[in-house]
Structure 1
């Protein structure tokens, strides 16, 4: 395992599941259990039925038309934008901008590299971002 802690979350329309992988040299079993309990608490709060809330009536007023549930992955939406609007801004940040076309090229390069390494469907790939 390349990373110290990996959390995998599988979201479905009516439920969710999670897995926690960790290096025993970094976390004790008790610490990993606390991380897992915290994850369960946060996910439960995020997915709980908010209709029990006393403010539901106000929420309905603000949102008269509820958006329909889309049974698509987020990357499908991004691929669609890459094809439809390759010159539009996809990422705008303090250290640079990237168009959908650039995002498509870079992500395709990464995908190709991962395939060359033998990574396939249902493989877990850790992602590391440097904190600045």
Structure 2
């Protein structure tokens, strides 16, 4: 497995590249704000909502804020 060579995208069957372009066809609008401000709003609006879910536990927005 360590010796495997990846096929360049342009050499694929063609369907792969078309699929990637389809996924990215609609670009979401940009947000001209800082992440910590958006996070703070979420913590205020939904303090008990799960913000992080990992194999070893979960943290709410309140716990992270």
TM-score range, shorter chain: 0.5 to 0.7
Report the TM-score, using the length of structure 1 for normalisation: 0.32
**Runs of 5+ in structure 1 lacking a partner?**
1-53, 105-132
Q: 1:81 to 1:61 in 2, by over 3 A?
A: same
Report the TM-score, using the length of structure 2 for normalisation: 0.57
Q: 1:100 aligns with which of 32, 55, 61?
A: 61
**Runs of 5+ in structure 2 lacking a partner?**
1-9
Secondary structure at the aligned position of 1:81 is classed as: helix
Q: 1:95 to 1:71 in 2, by over 3 A?
A: same
Alpha-carbon RMSD across the aligned residues, in angstroms, is: 2.3
Higher relative contact order (CA 8 A, sep 6+): 2
- Mapped partners of 1:61, 1:91: distance in 2: 29
| Count of residue pairs brought into register by the alignment | 50
After the TM superposition, list the runs of 4 or more consecutive aligned residues in structure 1 that deviate by more than 6 angstroms.
Answer: none
In the alignment, structure 1 residue 82 sits paired with structure 2 residue 62? no
